[in-house]
Structure 1
Amino acid sequence: MRINTFQILGLFILLIGLGNYSFGQNIQLFEEGNKLYDEGDFGGAVDKYEAILKTGEESAELYYNLGNAHYKLNNVAPSIYYYEKALQLNPNDSEIQNNITFAQNMTIDAIDNIPEVGLKKLLSNLTALFPTDGWALLTSVFAVLFTLIFIFYYLSGSTAKKRTFFVGSGIFISLAVVCFLFAFHSHNLERIDKPAIVFASESQVKSEPNPRGTLSFTLHAGTKVQILDTINNWNKIKLSDGKTGWMKAEDMKPL
């Protein structure tokens, strides 16, 4: 069957129309959710916001409002989960950071953070200056500058200019290499970063990935963990204080 130009154009217009219709529907749902929230119907607001998520749409504002609604309902795990989702999209938002602190105060588990010190802390702080894409962009910029300066060095007939361009090209290639290493390190951190929120009201963490394992400790709803490994329906988790163990995958929700 042949498809002519008019059929392709019609299909394109239809897809645009459907996209605009879906976008308009989501805006209406968001506004309805906000209205229900203002009226104190937090459960109704959650339903509206989650209806937007089902369409594949997401935003920091949507997750933030979902976190607020669940917080009002005293749903500890969902409130922290959605605040964390909002932070992933907008990590520098002070309101999200403040609200997640309030929500974390409702959790039962008191887990200390192991502070980073020395070179490890310095490396973490420097890496956090830009996201992975930012470091990659800087790498490309410095690589282009190196190429241009090196061309000037190659074409220049003056010894003094050659020396200047040579030094300049060395600086830019060094900066490109440094930014590449930071981009690589940032990418690795993102790759191994697999956070999850405990949703079970109480979950036993075992020494082995099976029910016969020795009980290591118990976690409760709202606690944030890192997933290190998965075997069958068990996840090996790590807490911010360094403790590890095996926990049922169904008891947590990955971010």
Structure 2
Amino acid sequence: MTDPKPTNTSGPFPKLAALKAPATRRCTPAVAGILAGFYTSQKKNLAVLETLELEEVKDQARIDRLKANNEDLRKIAHSYASGVSLPDWKRRLSADTKRAFSFLGLATTSDAKAFTFRLGHETADAALAAAKGSTDYLSTLIRKIGITHLAFVTEFTDSKSVENHPFHIHGVARIPDGFSIQSIEELLAPKQDLKSAHPMKGYRKRGKNEAVSVTELQTPGAWVSYTGKEIDFTAHRLQSGPDYASRSATLAGRELYEAMRTWLRS
């Protein structure tokens, strides 16, 4: 039996083991939220720096602090991203990561809000029976009241209660200040009324579970992780895709991803 040939003959001692490529991590939605947070933070810092640099009397101490902060942020981001695979958006980026960036990209707009819309029984049943699928049905309904820039995931709650329907949605949308929450409730989750001539199971508030919740986006990455917590279970129940993103949300997500990717590779 002949001796194996060395695979690496450089240096004083030939090595038999082939050199391995560095391990890579997939850019999961959780990783996406962290990396996008680094990128958007440094962008905000740069915007403040530009303003400070234009002032007639410069606050040099604050400018220096911001520059140092941005440099530290860059180093931390590059260290965290080391070994993370950031493939081409169109051909190789996974569907769940694209969904995450659609949420995160839309979250960068000034009037973006996090939302949870619970559904009355009639609305939920109609969505689940829709020929084109529940997400198409619900997105069409929501666009009718003027919310056109949005990304959401549908979710089934794991609850034994049948009083309220377990099907609801979480997402991000551009909702201007002053928008009527009541109009969303009337459309998606009308109040339960079982005593009228035409009984409606609708939605009945229990505890703190409001029919419609619209809040400021404090930590978009954390919201992305929360909204995806039951996505596999829901996809299995639906036997179809449980998520939706408007064209504007997808475009915002792609722009954010590609800008962040360029920054991390610079």
If the TM-score is normalised by the length of the shorter chain, which range does it land in? Answer: under 0.3
**TM-score where L is the length of structure 2:** 0.24
Q: TM-score, normalised by structure 1?
A: 0.24
More helix by share: 1
Q: Which has the larger radius of gyration?
A: 1
RCO greater where, 1 or 2, for CA within 8 Å and sep 6 or more? 2
